[in-house]
Homo-oligomer: A and B are copies of this chain.
Amino acid sequence: MSAKAKIGVLGASGYTGAELVRLLLRHPHVEVALLTADRRAGKPMADVFPQFAPFDLPPLTALADVDWAALRLDLVFCALPHGTTQEVISDLLKHVPSMKVVDLSADFRIADPAAYERWYGEHPRPDLMSEAVYGLTELHRERIAGAAIVANPGCYPTASLLALAPLARAGLIADVVIDAKQGISGAGRVFDETTHLSMAGENIVPYKVAAHRHTPEIEEQLARLDPAHRELKVQFQAHLVPLDQGELASCYVTTTRAVGADELREMYREAYEEEPFVELLADAPSGVLEVRETNYCRVFAAADEHTGKVIAFGAIDNLWKGTSSQAVQNLNLMFGLPETAGLQ
């Protein structure tokens, strides 16, 4: 690609949108050509996030006022609320059929309409569901490269699936418990007891017990990875802990057969030795601070001789590899750029 790719960010005034813009400004091969934000339309981005003052960015525009034909964008990131994206994407593909889309909502992450409906309600555009490719880069690299719509994964599935993928591909998962912990930024820009420093600051809080919407996304992906496409019921539980950014998935796997330490090590090494953004640790799991504000996922797996189970950990920054920087990683693939462009 010779000229810079023209990029739009829909929903630029939210946290995810702002994080995306920050990453795009550092990216050598793209140009931010559109920022939408309905309630802030007409204002400069720096009004909402003062740190953008030094940069030359287009003003915030209402989605309805965008002149798609004139803009001729190469790609849009959709950072819109869950449940609103299907119609938007459908509309804009009518205007510019060649435009690529990376969607950061949950709307296209699940391919099975029945599973989607069970957790989220009826999908308004089931016809589009099959067009979207699940954007966990390390798992679907080739399909992402050719995709028109990429559904960027949730942060919990990203950490969990990278921890579990080598076992899943080997058909070794008989049963799995995923205990995930995340910083308060995972609760979003919400102002209540869950985010107030005096209440959250010295607390550990489990939430959405036996009801987390990331479960079907993880289950569907594990079934795809499994050689026999076996469907597993995944026990997933999320917790808020008192830091800002960072996420750890601790995965406890009952295996379909005994797995020794050497076999496990070799399995993970093969899976990840070529990956630019997965770091496999040899001796102990990583904390989340070590991957803060990076696109890295740090993975550690151990065979527990005492119980026979395998324990696997995935540590990421929930706002980066869990959201925005993985979206940029996907953009790189979709444009044939080096996968690490703008991310190191």
Interface string of A301-341 (1 = CB under 8 A from B): 01111111101010100000000000000000000000000
CB within 8 Å of B: which A206-241 residues: 206-207, 209-210, 215, 233-235, 237, 239, 241
B304 pairs with A244, CB closer than 8 A: no
Interface string of A194-214 (1 = CB under 8 A from B): 011111111111110110000
B residues less than 8 Å from A290 (CB atoms): 50-51
A13 within 8 A of B: no
Which of B179, B185, B200, B289 has a CB less than 8 Å from the CB of A203? Answer: B289
Q: In the bound complex, how far is the Cα of B276 from the Cα of A106, in angstroms?
A: 40
Q: In the bound complex, how far is the Cα of B309 from the Cα of A290, in angstroms?
A: 33
B residues less than 8 Å from A304 (CB atoms): 209-210, 235
Q: In the bound complex, how far is the Cα of B175 from the Cα of A247, in angstroms?
A: 26
For the complex formed, measure the closest distance between the CB of A177 and the CB atoms of chain B, giving whole angstroms: 4
B residues less than 8 Å from A100 (CB atoms): none
* Of A83-91, A126-134, A141-149, A280-288, the one touching chain B: A280-288
A296, closest chain B residue (CB): B51
A54 within 8 A of B: yes
A209 pairs with B285, CB closer than 8 A: yes
A2 within 8 A of B: no
B239 pairs with A242, CB closer than 8 A: no
For the complex formed, measure the closest distance between the CB of A265 and the CB atoms of chain B, giving whole angstroms: 14
A232, closest chain B residue (CB): B307
Which of B193, B201, B235, B309 has a CB less than 8 Å from the CB of A311? Answer: B235
Q: In the bound complex, how far is the Cα of B311 from the Cα of A234, in angstroms?
A: 13
For the complex formed, measure the closest distance between the CB of A196 and the CB atoms of chain B, giving whole angstroms: 5
A252 within 8 A of B: yes
Q: In the bound complex, how far is the Cα of B309 from the Cα of A215, in angstroms?
A: 14
A209, closest chain B residue (CB): B302
B residues less than 8 Å from A289 (CB atoms): 199, 202-203
B243 pairs with A239, CB closer than 8 A: no
B181 pairs with A215, CB closer than 8 A: no
B201 pairs with A250, CB closer than 8 A: no
B residues less than 8 Å from A203 (CB atoms): 243, 246, 287-289
Q: In the bound complex, how far is the Cα of B269 from the Cα of A212, in angstroms?
A: 26
For the complex formed, measure the closest distance between the CB of A167 and the CB atoms of chain B, giving whole angstroms: 15
Q: In the bound complex, how far is the Cα of B184 from the Cα of A258, in angstroms?
A: 35
B residues less than 8 Å from A206 (CB atoms): 248, 250, 285, 313
Which of B183, B189, B202, B215 has a CB less than 8 Å from the CB of A244? Answer: B202
A209 pairs with B311, CB closer than 8 A: yes
A208, closest chain B residue (CB): B284
**Provided the pairs A177-B177, A202-B244, A244-B202 are in contact, do residues A233 and B191 lie with their beta carbons within 8 angstroms?**
no
**Provided the pairs A54-B344, A175-B254, A196-B195 are in contact, do residues A202 and B246 lie with their beta carbons within 8 angstroms?**
yes
Q: In the bound complex, how far is the Cα of B186 from the Cα of A158, in angstroms?
A: 30
A179, closest chain B residue (CB): B179
Task: Across the A-B interface, give the 7 residue pairs with the lowest CB-CB distance, nearest first.
Answer: A179-B179, A191-B191, A210-B304, A205-B287, A203-B289, A241-B241, A203-B287
Q: Known A-B contacts: A183-B198, A210-B306. Give 11 more (CB < 8 A).
A: A51-B290, A184-B197, A199-B289, A201-B201, A203-B288, A203-B289, A206-B313, A207-B284, A235-B304, A235-B309, A237-B250
Provide 21 A-B residue pairs closer than 8 Å at the C-beta atoms, listed in order of the A residue: A50-B279, A51-B290, A54-B276, A177-B177, A177-B309, A179-B250, A191-B195, A197-B197, A197-B200, A198-B244, A203-B246, A204-B243, A204-B248, A204-B287, A205-B287, A207-B284, A210-B303, A210-B304, A233-B306, A235-B311, A241-B241
